[in-house]
Structure 1
Amino acid sequence: MASVSEAGCRPVQPNRLDAGAALMMVVLCACWGLQQVAVKMAVADGAAPMAQAALRSIGATIIVGVVVLALGRRRGVIPMGTIWPGIGAGLLFALEFALLYTGLSLTTASRAVVFLYTAPFVVAIGGHLLIPGERLGRWQVMGLLAAFGGIVAAFADGLVEGGGSIAGDLLMVAAAIAWGLTTLLIKGSVLSRTAPLVTLLYQLGVSAVALVVLALVMGADLAIPLTDTVIGAMAFQIVGVASLSYLGWFVLISRYPASRLSAFSFLTPLFGVGAAAAVLGDALTPAFAIALVLVAGGIWMVNRPS
């Protein structure tokens, strides 16, 4: 493993993903897709989505904080110059969820997914303009469009059925922008040269406070019923998603181009659909196969060798 200096500096990143990084992104997207099912199962047992988001950040903050102390990083755990970017990343993360859950109450799930997954374009455009080494070529742009086309194909039935509202759609676009800006802030600031555990602790700790405040302001019910389903769903979200998968994401984003990593996020809703079919008995349509081909082809185009 490449050495890391006390300042947290890392070697110059490669301009594309290797097989290990690509496989890790697939695993992370599968984890995030399963999270969608876990949230639905907990909602069915009476746990409000905003309460789940707040508890997830609180629980993961405790876990990551204990790990940081156990690794002997008590001294110098918060490097100079990272505080404001770290707070900004945490606030953007909390804002994304506030916009997401508000938007979901005003539009349909299919429309929400399509508009939310404009986020990789925010990362691609921002990285192209602002971050050295993140410029995209023609093939990468075509790949993003193909992958996004796969998402549209997967949720086309829900789009043509109508429903939703312009306000809800705009809130989902705003959530996508907040998601993209979080990635760009981490990649384009000193956080990209900071130990991933520190970056994760910032995001979790700040978002935990912000999400509780937002939930209270929005009048959301923070009570969590302690059923077996809710306990299992929250354990997966706290340990599997917020602690382990987010740490893996920050490790990758510190080493590889953000725009190429973000292209893999188009797999997340497809994993969610597949998991819902396997766990909840939801039906799969032929459009799902078309979507999978388009997304996989798009990811290859984004990450193809120059």
Structure 2
Amino acid sequence: MMSERKHLDGYATGMMLLLCTIWGLHQVAIKAAAPDIAPIMQIALRSGLSALLVGIVIGCSRERFFRPDGTLLPGIIIGVLFSVEFIFVAEGLRFTTASHMSVFLYTAPIFTALGLQWFLPAERLRPHQWTGIAVSFAGIVLAFTGGSISTGFSLEMLWGDVLGILAGAGWGVTTVIIRCTKLSEAPPAKTLVYQLVAAFVLLLVYAAVSGQAGKVSMTGIAWASVLFQGIVVTFASYLAWFALLRRYLASRLSVFSFLSPLFGVVFGVLLLNEPIDACFAIGALLVLAGITLVSRPHKSPRSSDQIMESSCPMTSEKAADEI
């Protein structure tokens, strides 16, 4: 039986600020190490490391994670989608900035909301959510066109931005599949393993086929990026998120997740010296405002919590009572 969730206190607020800082650094870490190790290889290696760590957690658990429960087929599907999402992220970061990727990747709640309304009657979009989608779309258009107005048209950056949107769409579709299949009742660690193992295998294959597997020079920054992603981002921060979800209301926690792309933009500017033009800044704020509207709780508390979970960095790893 699901235990009662609490409202936020100082501990939860501090933890969410820390987690959003970590998630905001994610794309920046990949971009920073890209000269030494291809982004696709970073994500593949970090997925393998995280899968190993989650496997250790599962091995220490008393719960039978891999009993037949109808999750194998949807698990394979979300594993493939998770891999495709991060192929878009890795390829996009070759052409656009970490700041742009941080914003466009977080359009995922828009695609989640659009997808869920077709499959779950309780998730039909309300007028304010349609308004949020319109505002986000306007922000995307402005962010796309702003750079060409202020700095000259760059087809490469535009392509990278498009890949960021496609990554957000892939994330959203993954969430819809999880919510509408047996995975919605599966332990989150099991869902996470499906994704991480698939990503490790499929991204290594893609790296080999695309000729990027050889672009690996394990310098200090390369090691730091892979270890940060594998241990801190994809493993420790996700476990911390699940632990918070067991104690606090998801709709309250998830409000903080909108800080992640803002932190991503700030870190991109401060650590990578990435340029930010006024049009992109305004467009990014419109996108975030639209996402906030889409994810705003409505009358059904349980439904609103579920929608808010969809906006978080680990939406693809279903939040549940047990891990």
Scaled to the shorter chain, the TM-score interval is 0.7 to 0.9
Indicate yes or no: 2:155 matched with 1:164.
yes
Structure-2 residue corresponding to 1:50 = 40
Deviations 1:71-116 (A, max 9, x none): 233x3434421111111111111112223434555x6448767765
Structure-1 residue corresponding to 2:218 = 226
Paired residues of 1:50 and 1:222 also in contact (CA < 8 A): no
Which one of 102, 105, 110 corresponds to residue 121 of structure 1?
110
Indicate yes or no: 2:47 matched with 1:61.
no
Q: Distance in 2 between matches of 1:19 and 1:159?
A: 42
Q: Which runs of 5 or more residues in structure 1 are unaligned?
A: 4-10
Deviations 1:216-258 (A, max 9, x none): 1222125532322222211110012111334466778999899
Q: Quick one: which amino acid aligns to residue 186 of structure 1?
A: I
**TM-score normalised by structure 1 residue count:** 0.75
Q: Distance in 1 between matches of 2:117 and 2:30?
A: 34
* Number of aligned residues: 290
Which one of 90, 100, 125 corresponds to residue 136 of structure 1?
125
**What SS class does the counterpart of residue 181 from structure 1 fall into?**
helix
Question: How far did residue 213 of structure 1 move?
Answer: 1.4
**TM-score normalised by structure 2 residue count:** 0.72
Structure-1 residue corresponding to 2:321 = none
Q: Distance in 1 between matches of 2:216 and 2:119?
A: 42
Indicate yes or no: 2:169 matched with 1:177.
yes
User: C-alpha root-mean-square deviation of aligned residues, in Å?
Assistant: 4.0
Q: Sequence identity, in percent? A: 39
Q: Distance in 2 between matches of 1:50 and 1:62?
A: 19
Q: Which runs of 5 or more residues in structure 2 are unaligned?
A: 300-323
Q: Distance in 1 between matches of 2:111 and 2:268?
A: 28
Which one of 175, 190, 193 corresponds to residue 182 of structure 2?
190
Indicate yes or no: 2:78 matched with 1:89.
yes
Q: Distance in 2 between matches of 1:273 and 1:72?
A: 41
Q: How has the CA–CA distance of structure 1 residues 239 and 155 changed in structure 2, closer, same or farther, with 3 Å as cutoff? A: farther
Question: How far did residue 290 of structure 1 move?
Answer: 4.6
Deviations 1:173-231 (A, max 9, x none): 54333222111111221111111111111111121111111111222125532322222
Q: Quick one: which amino acid aligns to residue 127 of structure 1?
A: L
Indicate yes or no: 2:2 matched with 1:2.
yes
Question: How far did residue 288 of structure 1 move?
Answer: 7.3
- Larger mean CA deviation between 194-203 and 176-185 belongs to 176-185
**What SS class does the counterpart of residue 212 from structure 2 fall into?**
coil
Q: Distance in 2 between matches of 1:23 and 1:137?
A: 32
- Larger mean CA deviation between 189-198 and 19-28 belongs to 19-28
Structure-2 residue corresponding to 1:8 = none
